Amino acid sequence: MSKSITIDKLSTAEKMDLMERLWEDLSSSPDYTPPEWHGEELARRNEAVKEGTVSYTEWNKAKGEIQGETPRP
């Protein structure tokens, strides 16, 4: 079965939901291997947190900020 999606007709929230569902499907596939740069970027970010130069934002709060539901600090 094939479905057609007109992305430019989707709202930002719908696009975010679509990306999340695509990522969930892709990342649960047994043949998926993340690119090497993902591991490198995670290591870089973890080091920055250890050094205290950055901090994490809880995902639901960050997502709300992206979707305009939560005011940014």
pLDDT tens, 53-65? Answer: 998 889 999 888 8
Give the residue carrying structure tokens 């990342």.
27
Contact present, 43 and 50 (Cβ < 8 Å): no
- What does the pLDDT read at residue 23? 92
Give 40's pLDDT tier (boundaries 50, 70, 90): very high
Provide the residue ranges of all domains of the chain, joining segments of one domain with +: 34-73
Contact present, 17 and 10 (Cβ < 8 Å): no
pLDDT tens, 19-32? Answer: 999 999 999 999 99
- What does the pLDDT read at residue 73? 59
* R_g over Cα of the chain: 16
Give 72's pLDDT tier (boundaries 50, 70, 90): low
Please state the length of the chain.
73
Global pTM value: 0.49
Please state, as a whole number, how many other Cβ atoms lie within 10 Å of the Cβ of residue 52. Answer: 7
